[in-house]
Chain A
Amino acid sequence: MSAKETAAVQPRKKVHLKKYLPIYLIALPGLIYLFINNYIPMAGLVVAFKNFSAKRGIWGSKWAGFKNFKYLFSTSDAFVITRNTLLYNVMFIVIGTTLAVMVAIFLADIKSRIRSQFFQSIILLPFLVSWVIISYLVFGFFSAETGFVNNTIRQGMGLAPLSWYNEPKYWPLIILAVYLWHQVGYTSIVYYASVVGIDNGYYEAADLEGATHWQKIWHITLPLIRPTIITMVLLAVGKIFYSDFGLFYQVPMNSGALFRTTGVIDTYVYKGLMEQGNIGMSAAAGLYQSCVGFVVVLLANLAVRKIDKDSAFF
């Protein structure tokens, strides 16, 4: 490289730095927080490979290899819990996203401002109810002896009462319904923000050409909020090996008979460690879930890069 060229490059770099310095500066508080709150404790993940001893501390404890991971796979039900976790998450992502996007688009299209706001308020409320309380409400509907479904709906149709908490086959539907009830209003707010953020000019142009509502949704709204959808789905994919503990533990009221369809990795870990676990074993479970999520999300991101480069995370 000639001296002339180097000289030419140098000042430009400086300009760059000066130009972007404020951007780095404003990012700094958030980055420092994440470093402290998230990255430093990650070093603690090493206990997953240790026989943890408080006396020796995390670093001084003896290595245990993969011993702490063994219990995750020692059960013959490892397949069941993995399958359930994955299927539920896929179901939540697909159905949950579809519904939330639909609700967001409809909300934005409702002409009466007051009605739209009223709907928004109502559908957000379920998100504020804690899982313990939800489990009682679900029990109110599905209790064998006093439940609303058995006593009012099934009786009204002349059907015999069902012992819902001992019938695994109905639970994927019940769990899905509870999840949607709890989550859709909340998620739809994100999409709503994207939908109302769309430049009105697009719609005006479409109106001039005589487009129907469906055409506008299909050709304008959906393509323009696609990046948001992709972002939200990618974020969900990263958590694909996790499940909401309350939804799977509290809502089925820990009914063992439902294990086939409600058992997930998180509830297995919780129950397995309740009586005799140590922090090494719980760290191992978290690390395993994270690693799988990481691989899946990298693959998903790769796929997204192929379709829509701008929406990919990296």
Chain B
Amino acid sequence: MRKTSGYDILINTVMTVIVIFCVIPLALLLISSLTDNSTLIRNGYTFFPEAWSLDAYRYLVNSGSKIIRSYGMSFLVTGLGTGLSILFTTTLAYAISVPGLPGRKFLTFFVFFTMLFNGGLVPTYLMYTGTFHIKDTLMGLLLPNLLVRAYYVMMMRSYFINSLPQEVIEAARIDGASEFQTFTKVAIPMSKPIIATVILFTMIMYWNDWQNGLYYLSRKTSLYTIQNLLNRMIQEIQFLSSNAVVGQSNAAQGIPSGTVRMAIAVIGILPIAVIYPFVQKNFAKGITMGAVKG
């Protein structure tokens, strides 16, 4: 065991400072969600509110019989989406990383090009609703835009090219492994760090997405994910609390408008914050295995 060096002290100090920088606004978020609403509006967002209150969470629990169901939808969509996505992404990324594959450059360009140009929302929407009829179905949450992202394909490709020792791959080929076997038996196990990374990113992407729900679920709101639900609540509250009365409405009455937004954010982050350490454990495991084999 080496003793603690100056370098160790330095990196720990720097990281602690960075973590504090990250935590302060998050603490403000949590504290504001627990502040009394009138206090918040009068005194602004502060670390030491005059009056505390659980009203925001009470409001969410009372109005949100749908919260549990939406959480369920989020888990389902995130699980399915991430599973499919990682399959498609890894295979494609590996293919365009194989040296000597005829047409490899073209395929790489084919993938990369989709990052630069896109048809925009309207043509995408017309195709998915007109040809594939995914409107108001679960597919509307899964398919558009999220399944294979060129960004992640390129990231993985780079890892395959640069971090997979070519000698090991060659050795496998010489041993008579087919290209497919090389992929599943050699490349995949050795690439756990990047696979874990992309799994994490894809999970976050599916978890955070609310646009697909917004555009593709206009009637079937029972399929809303938690982000759709929370986003809709935030928009409602924002509208009600920022606009003067237009009709004969008292919908804004009694909503702790300022604090509930913050509580909504907390509820949206919470599951990922809870699950992440577990994902991370596997992530770390993958790394050691990859490193040992390498």
Describe A's contact surface by its main secondary structure: helix
Contact B159 A121 (CB under 8 A): no
Of chain A, the residue at the smallest CB distance from B165 is: A199
CB neighbours (8 Å) of A136 from chain B are: 32, 45, 261-262
For chain A residues 103-161, which have a beta carbon within 8 Å of chain B? Answer: 103, 106-107, 109-111, 113, 115, 117, 119-130, 132-134, 136-137, 139-141, 143, 145-148, 151
A22 touches B (CB below 8 Å): yes
* A213 contacts the other chain (CB 8 A): yes
Partner of A137, one of B28, B123, B162: B28
- Contact string against B for A residues 273-310, beta-carbon threshold 8 Å, 1 for contact and 0 otherwise: 00000010011001100100110010000000000001
Q: How many chain A residues have a CB neighbour from B under 8 Å?
A: 100
Segment touching B, from A23-31, A62-70, A90-98, A165-173: A23-31
Distance to closest chain A CB from B50 (angstroms)? 12
Residue of A nearest to B103 (CB): A24
Q: Which of A4-12, A77-85, A188-196, A256-264 contacts B (4 or more CB under 8 A)?
A: A188-196
Specify which chain A residues have a CB less than 8 angstroms from the CB of B47 in the assembled complex: 148
Measured between C-beta atoms, what is the minimum distance from A34 to chain B in Å? 5
- Contact between B272 and A45 (Cβ–Cβ < 8 Å)? no
Q: How far is the CA of A3 from the CA of B110 in the complex (A)?
A: 36
B contacts with A, residue count (CB < 8 A): 101
- Assess whether A16 is interfacial by the CB under 8 Å rule: yes
Say yes or no: A140-B44 contact (C-beta < 8 A), given A30-B89, A193-B193, A193-B196. Answer: yes
Contact mask for chain B residues 117-136; partner A; CB cutoff 8 A; 1 contact, 0 none = 11110111011000000000
Pick the residue among A37, A189, A197, A200 that contacts B163 (CB under 8 A).
Answer: A197
Question: What are the interface flags for A23-52 relative to B under an 8 Å C-beta threshold, 1 for contact and 0 otherwise?
Answer: 110110111011011111111110100000
Q: Are A41 and B124 in contact (CB under 8 A)?
A: yes
Give A38 to B111 CA distance when docked, in angstroms: 10
Q: Which residues of B contact A143 (CB under 8 A)?
A: 44-45
CA gap between A253 and B196 in the complex, in Å? 36
- Do the beta carbons of B11 and A286 come within 8 Å of each other? no
The segment from B59-67, B71-79, B178-186, B217-225 that touches chain A is B178-186
Determine whether the beta carbon of A45 is less than 8 Å from that of B88.
no
- B174 interface contact, C-beta 8 A: no
Does any Cβ of B come within 8 Å of A232's Cβ? yes
Contact with A along B193-221 (1 / 0, CB 8 A): 11011001100100010000000000000
- Across the interface, do B179 and A115 meet the contact criterion of CB distance under 8 Å? no
Q: Is the CB of A106 within 8 A of B14?
A: yes
Point out the residues of chain B lying under 8 angstroms from A238, CB to CB.
112, 115-116
A113 to B124, alpha carbons, bound, how many Å? 45
Which chain B residue has the least Cβ–Cβ distance from A120? Answer: B280
Choose from B18, B114, B200, B269 the contact partner of A38 (Cβ within 8 Å). B114
Cβ-defined contact, A197 with B280, below 8 A: no
> B193, A196: Cβ atoms under 8 Å?
yes
Interface membership of A61, Cβ < 8 A:
no
In the A-B complex, the 9 residue pairs with the smallest Cβ-Cβ separation, listed nearest first, are A146-B44, A44-B123, A140-B45, A41-B119, A30-B92, A27-B95, A231-B158, A193-B193, A41-B123
Q: A58-B123, A122-B22 are in contact. List 17 more A-B contacts (CB 8 A).
A: A34-B114, A39-B114, A47-B123, A117-B280, A130-B231, A148-B46, A181-B25, A197-B159, A213-B5, A228-B159, A230-B158, A238-B115, A238-B116, A286-B118, A294-B116, A313-B112, A314-B105
